[in-house]
Amino acid sequence: MAPRRRNLRDVQNPLPTTQAELDALLNQRIADAIAQHEANRGNRNDGPRVQPPPVAQNPANGCTYKQFLDCKPLNFDGTGGAVAFVRWTEKMDSVIRMSNCTPNQTVLYVSGMFMAEALSWWNLQVQILGDAAAYAIMWDRLKEMMREKYCSRAELQMLETEFGI
């Protein structure tokens, strides 16, 4: 078979070979498209101009909820006692590290894993504290609140004795 003939476009715009090059190319094309759209709008006044949300690829920016879910977090329904709670928090600690969530994103994303009784408990906390205060809680504080709710003292003492936690 004869080698593929390269055209002028291939030489001028080679295809990206790494994920970083592809990401950079996509970000540039998106920025170009937005700039072109804004230029085409001209001076028309058809509503406020909305900035697109920042792309969260830099660990300093945190992660998206999809990236968080891609790390396979477990749901929590409030059953299973202290053992289930400890296992769930260990898994969530791992997911938070892997996904590069910022402290401000952590409780928002983690609370998306609540089901059944745990979801009802969380919704009550949000009602009592208010949205802003509830989602501003740090992850360690949320774990303390949940430990008080879902783990009896006897269970915790047994786990401490048995596993040295």
Q: Where are the domains of the chain?
A: 16-52, 59-163
Most confident of 24-38, 39-53, 144-158: 144-158
Question: Crossing angle, helix 81-99 and helix 139-150, to 10 degrees?
Answer: 170
**Tens of pLDDT along 36-53?**
767 776 655 555 555 544
Is the alpha carbon torsion for 58, 32, 70, 133 positive or negative? positive
Q: What is the pLDDT of residue 35?
A: 73
| pTM, to two decimals | 0.57
Q: What digits encode the pLDDT tens for the residues 66-124?
A: 999 999 999 999 888 888 888 999 999 999 999 999 999 999 999 999 999 999 999 99
Give me the percent of the chain exceeding a pLDDT of 70: 68
Top-confidence residue, 83 or 158: 83
In the structure encoding, which two tokens stand for residue 51, read together?
């900035």
Confidence of residue 57 (pLDDT cuts 50, 70, 90): very low
pLDDT score, position 136? 93
Fill in the amino acid letter for 138.
M
Give the mean model confidence (pLDDT) for residues 129-158: 86
Mean pLDDT within 11-29 = 69
Which residue blocks in the chain are alpha helix, DSSP H?
8-12, 19-41, 65-70, 81-99, 103-111, 116-129, 131-135, 139-150, 153-163
Residue 63 DSSP SS3:
coil
Residue given tokens 């969380």 in the structure block = 122
